[in-house]
Structures are given as C-alpha cells and as structure tokens.
Amino acid sequence: MKHMQCIVSKNNISLFHHILRQGVEYSCQLPQSIKEFLLTELELTPQQVEDEIRTVFLDNSPVDNLEEALLIPDCVLALGTAMPGLVGITMACSSPFSSFRDDISAARHHAADLANSRELGSLRVKLFSFVADMCGSGILKKGVFVTEEKLRGLLGELENNLGRELEKHLVSLSIDGRTVPVRTFLAQAGPQPTPQGTKETPAHSATELIRFTCRETTSSEHHADTTGN
C-alpha cells in the first residue's frame, strides 16, 4: 500500500480538512465505544466531548449514549457540533426530544461485553464544522486511508485556488519516502508504465486506498519547492 505524506507550513493543516468532511477510513482496535474513540483516538478531553460533540451519527442513526454505542468494522461515524433549528435539537446527542426519533436511534450495547474480542479494523470517519478544526491535525498526523483520486482532486483544487501561493503552504509532498513535486503528482493520473528491465507489478488504481499522513513543519525543517519549477 502506498504511503503519501504532506508537510505543511504552520497553521495550514486545515487545507486538508475537506477530505475529513468527505470521509476517510481510519484503522484502530474494534469494537470500542464512541466515547473511548473520542478520548483515545481523537485525543479529546472529557470536557471537549461534553461541550463540543453535540451531533453524533453512527451508520446514519443519531446517537444518545456515547458509552453504549459501539464502533465495529466498516461502520460510519459522523461527528459535528450542534445543528441549527428544531431538527438540530431533535437529532442532538442526548436530546430531550430523543423519544420522538427512538425508532431511528443507534442501538445500544455494552462495550465491556466485547472487550476481549477486539482486533484491528477500520471504520469510516466524517468530521464536520468545528470538530474538523478541533480534531483534524491529530487524526491526519496519525494517518488515514483515502483514495489517490480524492487526494489528487483536492490538491488540484488547491493549486487552482492558490496558484503559486501553494508553495508557501505545502512544504513537501512524498510518496513512499520519495519527494514528488505537486505538479508531477497531479499529472500522474492512471496506471504508470513499468520501466524496462524491472519486474512488472500490478498497476495501482487511483481508486484504491492509500495511507495519507499530514503534519505541520517543525522549526528545523527548511522550505522545499514542491511545484516542479
């Protein structure tokens, strides 16, 4: 599996928050409760969970009890702040009107019952509004799984919107440890030819998942030109 890493300048990791809103695959020990996931994987404090995580959907069903709703392999978890209006109040976590949507609420389980059956699995995570800003840097630094096609599309949009300013924000881009100019990556859509004399390997599809990590630059790292000029 390919591994792509981006290093961005200080306070610019939000450039990649868009893919968190679209949804990314994340690997961790499953099953586990949503509450545990928020505290250990997203590294939120109990106060942040209580104050900021107001809308929680598990497989499109609203969640009320974060400790009794279990994450299992291939599930979809969506997190956001409070939604506006009456719908937002009704769908909110632990809403006083939750009885009105009881038939669509997420099922409750006891996490302790499945604690001994955990294994590494993946789920789909979607982070919206302020939650993406609050948790984005942490989850991107740990690593998520997205399609190469989605990353190429996002970088293409950033180049169109920022132009040469992208150089100031995107310090480096590497694939499997090899530095790749952004424009070279954008031009590499589709299977790549196998160099003559090398062993042929199966072509990598742009729709296959790759591991993607992103972090901000440190003071010891120098700005690198990633645009191919």
In what order do the strands lie in the sheet containing 61-62? 61-62, 55-58, 76-80, 119-127, 24-30, 144-147, 209-216, 3-8, 170-175, 178-179
Q: Do the beta carbons of residue 186 and residue 159 sit within 8 Å?
A: yes
Q: What value, to the nearest 5°, has the Cα angle with vertex 36 and ends 101 and 51?
A: 65
How far apart CA 10 and CA 179 sit, in angstroms, is: 20
pLDDT band with cut points at 50, 70 and 90 for residue 218: confident
The pLDDT score that the predictor gives to residue 94 is 55
What does DSSP say about strands 3-8 and 209-216: parallel, antiparallel, or unpaired?
A: parallel
What single DSSP character describes residue 121?
A: E
| Mean pLDDT, residues 67-94 | 73
How far apart CA 130 and CA 189 sit, in angstroms, is: 33
Q: Which of 8-17, 90-99, 118-127, 205-214 shows the lowest mean pLDDT across its residues?
A: 90-99
Q: Is 60 left (phi over 0), alpha (psi -120 to 50) or beta?
A: left
The pLDDT score that the predictor gives to residue 63 is 87
Q: Is 166 left (phi over 0), alpha (psi -120 to 50) or beta?
A: alpha
Retrieve residue 72's tokens.
């299992």
How far apart CA 92 and CA 96 sit, in angstroms, is: 9
Contacts of residue 26, Cβ cutoff 8 Å, sequence gap at least 6: 41, 122, 123, 124, 125, 139, 144, 145
Tell me the C-alpha to C-alpha distance, in Å, between residue 56 and each of 22, 35, 115: 16, 11, 22
pLDDT in tens, 168-186: 899 999 999 999 998 899 8
Domain boundaries in the chain?
1-22+135-190+205-229, 32-117
The pLDDT score that the predictor gives to residue 138 is 92
